[in-house]
Structure 1
Amino acid sequence: MTDKSEYKDSFRCGYVAVLGRPNVGKSTLMNHILGQKVSITSRKPQTTRHRVLGIYTDDDAQILFVDTPGIHRKEARSINRYMNRAASSSMADVDVLLFVVDGTQWTDDDELVLEKLSHAKGKKVLFVNKVDKLADKEEVLPHIAHITEQCDFDAVFPGSALRGHNLDELTKTLKQWLPEGDLFYPEDYITDRSERFMAAELIREKLMRSLGEEIPYSSTVEIEQFKFNDKGILTISGLILVERSGQKAIIIGKGGQRLKQIGRDARIEMEELFDSKVFLELWVKVKDGWADDERALKSLGYDDYR
C-alpha cells in the first residue's frame, strides 16, 4: 500500500457508479479517464456483463469507478436478470452516481435507470454523451431540462467519452465529492479484476465485434489455462461456449478462418496488456441453454453482483 504521506493532506478516495442503459458509452467513458482499457467495448448493446472496477489515481484522489452492465427492462433470460441485478446493486454504498445518456436519444430503458436513480442516495451527476455527433446542438438544453425535471442532479456535463470532451471537468467535480481518506488500492492498480478475467473479456470483445446480432449474446468465454512457461511465454487456453451447433460453425468460419482472426486480434491486445509473448488457443463448445441456467451462470462467474 502506498503511503498516503506522499499525497496532499486533503487526499480523497471513494466510489463512483457509472450507470445507464446499454450502449450509451459507459465503458468508453471510464476507459478514457483511466487512459487504459479496463472494460471491453463494442457497438453492440450489453457488451458489458459484469461489474468492473476501474481505479483512477492522481495526486489529489483515487476514484474507484464501478462500470456496470446496461440496465434494461426486457429480462428475457437469466443472464439479463443477472446484469440488471449487478447494475442495480452498484447503486448502494457509493459516493457518486454517474448517469450516462446517449445524446438526445431517450428510451424506456433510460426511464428505468432514472426511476432507480431518483430513489438512490448520494451525489448524482448527468453526463450527456456523444453530443459531438448531434446535428442540432440546440436540442441538448431542452433534453437536459426534461431529464433534470424528473431527478435532482448535482451537476450536468455534456461531452464525448470517445473524444474526451469535458472529461477533465467531470473528473475534477467527481473528486470534490469523494470523502477524505487513504488509498483503497496501490497507486499502480487500474482494476481489481484478475488477468484471467481480462483475458476472457478480450476474447469476448473480439467475438462481439466480429459476429452478427444474435450470436454474441449466446456466447461466453471461459479461461481453462493461464500459465507462464520457463521462457516467460504466457499460454492461454480459452473455451468459447455457444448454445447451438449452428452458432459453433459460424464462429469457427470457413476453414477455421473466423476463429483464427478472433484469436489473432485477442492475442495482439493480450501481449500489450500482459507485457509478454502470448500463445493463445481457442476452442468452441456447445452448451445448450447456458444463458438461462442459473447454476451454469454461477460456474462461469456470473454471480458477483452481491
Structure 2
Amino acid sequence: GKSSLMNLLVQEKVSIVTAKPQTTRRRVLGIVSRDEGQIVFVDAPGVLNASEGLNRFLSQEAADVIEQSDVLMAVLSVDMKSKEMAEKIIQLVDESKKPWFAVITKTDLKDLERRVDVIKELCAKHKSCFGVVAVSTKETNGQKALREEILKLAGLHLPITPEPLYDVDLFTPHSMKEVVTEIIRERCFEILHHELPYQIAVRVQKYDESDETLPKIYAEILVAKASHKPILVGKGGATIKQIGIESRKSIEEVVGNQVFLSLEVSVRDNWTENKKLMKELGYVVE
C-alpha cells in the first residue's frame, strides 16, 4: 500500500507497514534528495468521512495534506473493494485542481490483473492526470527502474526553490521518538493483526541517550478497553515480550546500534474520544 511505497521511494523505513488497512494515523514525511533537487513525500491517512474523535483527526489530516501539497500521487490498489472506491479517490485528487499522477499497487496479486487496465481507464478520463505507474513493492525485480519512474513523474510539476526545504542528509524530519512510536505500533499490528483493535496508541515516555552506546527507551502502549490489555500482554507476558523483541530489532536497524527498550500496557478508557489525551498523543483536532 501507500506506506510500503513510501519506504521504497525514500529507501528508508519511515512509514508503518502492516496488512491491516487504515493504520497510518498522522502524516509522515519522507525526503529524497538528489543532484536534481529534493522531493518531500507525504504519506497521509486514508480518506475517511468522519466528524468525531480520532477519525475526525484522520479525515482532517488527509484533507490538509491534499491542500498543502504541490503535486498529488493517488495510490490505487488492485484489491480495493470496489471500482467506486477507486473512482472516489480519483475524484478527490482531481477536484483539488492540482497536477496528479496515479500509482497502481499490489499488481502481483493473482486473478486481479484486469483491474490494472480498469484503473488506467479511469485515470485516462481526467486531463489533470499526467501519468500512471503500476508497481508491486513485494517483487524485487525492476524496483529500481520503477522507483526512478515515480521520482521522475513526481518531480515534473514541483516548484523551483532557491534551496532545499530540508537538510539533504535527512530522510525524514520526524524525531527519533516519533519514529520509535510508529515502529512499536507497526509491530503490534503485525504480530496480532486481526486480534488487535484499532484503538491502540503508543507513547514514548522517555528516550534517554545519556549512554551513547546503549540508548534507553521507555514506551507505553495504550488501549481503549480493559479487555484489550490481555490481548497485548499474552499468556505469561509472551506477546508483549515478542512485540518488544521485534520492535527493538527494528529500532536498532534505524539508529545503527543497540538499544534498551521497556514496554508497558496501560488502559485509557475510550481514549479516542478524549480530546486532552489525543492532544498529548499528537492527534490534535482543532
What's the CA shift for 1:88?
A: 1.1
Contact 1:236 1:281 in 2 (8 A): yes
The separation in 2 between residues aligned to 1:218 and 1:190, in whole angstroms, is 29
- After TM superposition, the structure 1 stretch with the greater mean CA deviation from structure 2, 176-185 or 134-143, is 134-143
Contact persistence 2:222–2:266 (CA under 8 A) = yes
The equivalent position to 2:39 in structure 1, one of 56, 63, 66, is 63
Give 2:219's aligned residue. 238
The equivalences for 1:64-213 within 5 A come to 64-73=40-49, 75=50, 78-103=53-78, 105=80, 106=82, 108-135=84-111, 137-149=113-125, 152-163=128-139, 164=143, 166-181=146-161, 182-213=163-194
Does residue 269 of the first structure (1) align with residue 269 of the second (2)?
Answer: no
User: Is residue 2:10 matched to residue 1:42?
Assistant: no
Determine the C-alpha separation between the residues in 2 that align with 1:94 and 1:62: 14
1:104, 1:140 within 8 Å by CA — same for their partners in 2? no
Instruction: Provide Cα deviations, 1:104-123, integer angstroms capped at 9, x if missing partner.
Output: 63355434323321220321
Secondary structure at 1:63 match in 2: strand
TM-fit CA distance, 1:46: 1.3
C-alpha distance in structure 1 between counterparts of 2:56 and 2:112, whole Å: 36
Between the two structures, name the one with larger relative contact order (CA 8 Å, sep ≥ 6): 1
* Contact 1:161/1:167 (8 A) holds in 2: no
Name the CA shift for 1:79/1:214 in 2 (closer, same or farther; >3 Å).
farther
How far does the alpha carbon of each residue in 1:206-236 deviate from its partner, in whole angstroms, 9 at most, with x for none?
A: 1111114363412110010101133531110
SS in 2 for 1:198: helix
Provide the TM-score with structure 1 as the length reference.
0.85
Report the Cα distance in structure 1 between the residues aligned to 2:210 and 2:148, rounded to whole angstroms: 42
In the TM superposition, residue 189 of structure 1 has moved relative to its aligned partner by 0.4
How many pairs are equivalent?
Answer: 280
Could you say what the CA RMSD is over the residues aligned between the two structures, in angstroms? 2.1
What stretches of structure 1 move > 6 A for 4+ residues in a row?
none
Amino acid at match of 1:171: L
How far the C-alpha of 1:80 sits from its partner, in A, is: 1.4
Distance in 2 between the 1:271 and 1:38 partners?
A: 14
Q: Please give the secondary structure, in 2, of the residue aligned with 1:116.
A: helix
Matched, 1:289 2:270: yes
- Structure 2 length as normaliser, TM-score? 0.90
CA–CA distance in 2 between the matches of 1:118 and 1:216?
33
Distance 2:186 2:173 in 1: 19
Unaligned runs of 5+ in 2: none
- In the aligned structure 2, how far is the partner of 1:65 from the partner of 1:33? 9
Q: CA–CA distance in 1 between the matches of 2:155 and 2:248? A: 36
Q: Any unmatched runs of 5+ in structure 1?
A: 1-24
Cα 1:77–1:257 change in 2 (3 A) is: farther
* Contact 2:13/2:254, CA 8 A, preserved across alignment: no
CA contact (8 A) 1:218 1:243 kept: yes
State which drifts further: 294-303 or 46-55. 294-303
Q: Describe the shift of the 1:26–1:95 C-alpha distance in structure 2 as closer, same or farther (beyond 3 A).
A: same
Aligned residue in 2 for 1:21: none
The Cα shift of 1:103 comes to: 1.7
Match of 1:19 in 2: none
CA contact (8 A) 1:207 1:216 kept: no
SS in 2 for 1:260: helix
Deviation at 1:162, TM superposition (A): 3.5
- Give how far 1:150 is off: 5.7
Matched residues in 2 for 1:49 and 1:230: separation?
Answer: 31
Identity of aligned residues (%): 32
